[in-house]
Amino acid sequence: MGEEEFDRLVDDGAFLEWASMFGHRSGTLRGPVDEMQRAGRDVLLEIDVQGARQIRDRVPEAVLVFIAPPSREELERRLRARGTEDPTELEERLRVAFEEELPQQAWFDHVVENLDLQRATGEVLAIIESYRHKQRD
């Protein structure tokens, strides 16, 4: 999607959330999320703290789960292994994570530490199930 179309969609309110991070803009279109919710499906969004704040404001009943890295060293190791950032971008990503994002985890509904992917996935699934159970009661 081009910048002009992105701007138009922002102006039209088509995004449920959107953010600009590290020189790139991305967002979640409202239409597909609304469709899935009408069909009775759970919707999981992988978004940053900026997007989560917008979701909190626009969809107060949404359940927000902060996925936290086990340590700065481990996050750095994982990002280096991915090989998607140059050294300058990597340092900026780590700075943002530990100075701007991690301090905000307190306003999320849940925090899951991603020490082990299988364990963290299980915790997120348990959170989802607990809310499904509350909705049935």
CATH of the domain at 118: 3.40.50.300
Lowest mean per-residue pLDDT among 8-12, 23-27, 128-132: 23-27
Is 113 within the bounds of a domain? Answer: yes
Q: Measure CA 110 to chain center.
A: 13
Rounded to two decimals, the pTM is 0.85
Is it the case that residue 33 has pLDDT exceeding 90? yes
Neighbours of 129 (CB within 10 A): 10
CA atoms within 13 A on the CB side of 122: 5
Neighbours of 22 (CB within 10 A): 10
To 10 degrees, what angle do helices 87-95 and 72-82 make? 150
Neighbours of 116 (CB within 10 A): 10
Is 107 within the bounds of a domain? Answer: yes
Is it the case that residue 136 has pLDDT exceeding 70? no
Is 134 within the bounds of a domain? Answer: yes
Who's near 15: CB < 8 A, 6+ residues apart?
9, 27, 28, 29, 30
Q: How is residue 134 written in tokens?
A: 């509350």
Is 119 within the bounds of a domain? Answer: yes
Residue 19: phi, psi to the nearest 5?
A: -155, 160
For residue 3, what pLDDT is reported? 82
Q: What is the pLDDT of residues 44-96, one digit of tens each?
A: 999 999 999 999 999 999 999 999 999 999 999 999 999 888 899 899 989 99
Is 4 within the bounds of a domain? Answer: no
Q: In total, how many domains does the chain have?
A: 1
Is 7 within the bounds of a domain? Answer: no
Angle formed at CA 73 by CA 68 and CA 79, multiple of 5 degrees:
75
Is 10 within the bounds of a domain? Answer: no
Which residue range forms the structural domain that includes residue 97? 63-137
Mean pLDDT of the chain: 91
Is 87 within the bounds of a domain? Answer: yes
